[in-house]
């Protein structure tokens, strides 16, 4: 099985000019993109913390094939760097002969690592690569078998010996399992994390200890206390990919033990980890926070609810991202279904970004704050805490058919947009 195929020759480098920021005069909200469909998938600080790097997928790019004289409509990976005032510094796209979906970006010495998924006529494989700090000198590789199964690239990290750790999930005849591989460095290896049931999908792999990692995803395996449906899986692996410990958690909810509990993000906190996501039963969904200790032997589960002032409609919501404040409080961002006030003639505002703060035990400290557009569809993606204590929220704002842009919101720990 030939897993390592160099595809750098297929890269199309497109340098986009910087446009004017669109921002309300009274708040820090910046939009990035143009007349296309831009979707944010990740956001990190630059290596020296003086800016942000936004990663995502640009869809609907037309490519002219001179051999067939036919236009192809493809998706590309893009990277945008902005400073801490929101001013765009540089932007670059990476295009291939087939569709590619971006997943994660990580800062390394002298540049960045990026991972995503490439879909061709015959296969779905991981695509990962590196570029310098100016998004130039890019080199990409494909990973995964051709035609026998699908490999989805989810996360990437450097290792201390100069290698790269890539992780994601496979799909073989409708059965999903985690995979994680070490490429380069002093030793290479591959592991596939097999579980009973199906729908075992990785969502994050974060460094832990010396070249170990915490893998978080969803699984249909029953939880450790017997809950069914989709549950949260958290596994710690050593530097050679061997499982150190693992736990499967369901979010207990009165009246039902079989909510689908789908995780979206995880961060390390003092003494353990915070995992956030969405709990769903039938048409109702709620954001949750799961606080897990290092051994996985205990956990604290929190489900957050809000009713709009009219009280006339159910509210569906899910947590998408989490960061810790300077005082180690838990700051959660997500997407919530926002119904208009009856005074606004019943207009449905669609999904909006929400933020909230909880203490170290997950107990809510602030009400939900909502940010969105009338009739828009807004999705929070990542949350980061800046050196000055401010919170940055990265989101995708949908303005209508075929047009979406990135949004960058800056706020204090109470969720108030900063001036």
Average pLDDT of the residues of the chain:
83
Q: Which pLDDT tens digit goes with each residue over 34-67? A: 878 999 999 999 988 899 999 999 987 666 555 5
Give the global pTM.
Answer: 0.88
User: What is residue 313's predicted lDDT score, i.e. its pLDDT?
Assistant: 52
* Local confidence band at 235 (pLDDT 50, 70, 90 cut-offs): very high
Distance CA 32, CA 255 (A): 44
Distance CA 185, CA 387 (A): 32
The number of beta carbons lying within 10 Å of the beta carbon of residue 123 is: 17
Residues 182/188, Cβ–Cβ less than 8 Å = yes
Percent of the chain with pLDDT over 70: 82
User: Which DSSP symbol is given to 72?
Assistant: E
Instruction: Dump the DSSP string for 234-279.
Output: EEEE-TTS-EEEEEEE---BTTBS--EEEEEEEEEETTEEEEEEEE
User: Which DSSP symbol is given to 417?
Assistant: B
Residue 319 has pLDDT above 90, yes or no: yes
Q: Which pLDDT tens digit goes with each residue over 331-360? A: 999 998 866 554 554 455 678 899 999 999
Distance CA 125, CA 114 (A): 14
């Amino acid at each position: 099985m030939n897993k390592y195929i160099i595809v750098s020759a297929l890269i199309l480098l497109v340098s986009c000019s910087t446009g004017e920021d669109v921002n309300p005069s009274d708040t820090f909200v910046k939009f990035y993109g143009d007349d296309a469909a831009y979707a944010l998938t990740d956001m990190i600080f630059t290596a020296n913390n003086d800016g942000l790097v936004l990663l995502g997928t640009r869809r609907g790019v037309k490519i002219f094939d001179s051999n067939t004289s036919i236009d192809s409509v493809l998706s590309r990976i893009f990277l945008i760097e902005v400073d801490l005032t929101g001013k765009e510094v540089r932007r670059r796209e990476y295009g291939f002969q087939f569709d590619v979906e971006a997943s994660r970006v990580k800062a390394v010495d002298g540049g960045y690592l990026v991972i995503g998924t490439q879909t061709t006529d015959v296969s779905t494989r991981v695509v990962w690569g590196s570029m310098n700090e100016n998004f130039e000198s890019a080199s990409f590789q494909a990973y995964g078998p051709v035609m026998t199964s699908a490999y989805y690239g989810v996360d990437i990290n450097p290792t201390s010996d100069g290698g790269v750790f890539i992780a994601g999930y496979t799909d073989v005849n409708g059965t999903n399992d985690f995979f994680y591989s070490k490429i380069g460095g002093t030793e290479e290896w591959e592991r596939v994390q097999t579980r009973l049931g199906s729908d075992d999908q990785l969502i994050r792999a974060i460094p832990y200890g010396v070249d170990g990692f915490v893998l978080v995803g969803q699984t249909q395996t029953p939880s450790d206390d017997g809950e069914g449906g989709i549950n949260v899986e958290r596994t710690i692996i050593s530097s050679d990919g061997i499982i150190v410990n693992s736990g499967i958690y369901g979010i207990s909810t009165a009246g039902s033990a079989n909510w689908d509990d789908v995780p979206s993000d995880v961060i390390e906190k003092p003494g353990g980890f915070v995992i956030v996501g969405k709990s769903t039963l039938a048409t109702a969904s709620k954001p949750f926070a799961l606080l897990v200790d290092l051994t996985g032997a205990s956990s604290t589960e929190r489900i957050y609810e809000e009713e709009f002032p009219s009280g006339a409609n159910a509210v569906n919501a899910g947590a998408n991202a989490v960061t810790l404040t300077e005082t180690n409080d838990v700051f959660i961002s997500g997407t919530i279904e926002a119904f208009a006030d009856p005074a606004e003639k019943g207009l449905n505002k669609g999904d909006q970004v929400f933020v909230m703060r909880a203490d170290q035990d997950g107990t809510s400290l602030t009400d939900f704050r909502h940010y969105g557009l009338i009739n828009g569809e807004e999705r929070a993606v990542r949350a980061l805490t800046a050196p000055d204590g401010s919170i940055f929220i990265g989101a995708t704002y949908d303005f209508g058919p075929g047009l979406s842009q990135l949004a960058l919101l800056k706020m204090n720990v109470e969720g108030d947009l900063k001036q």
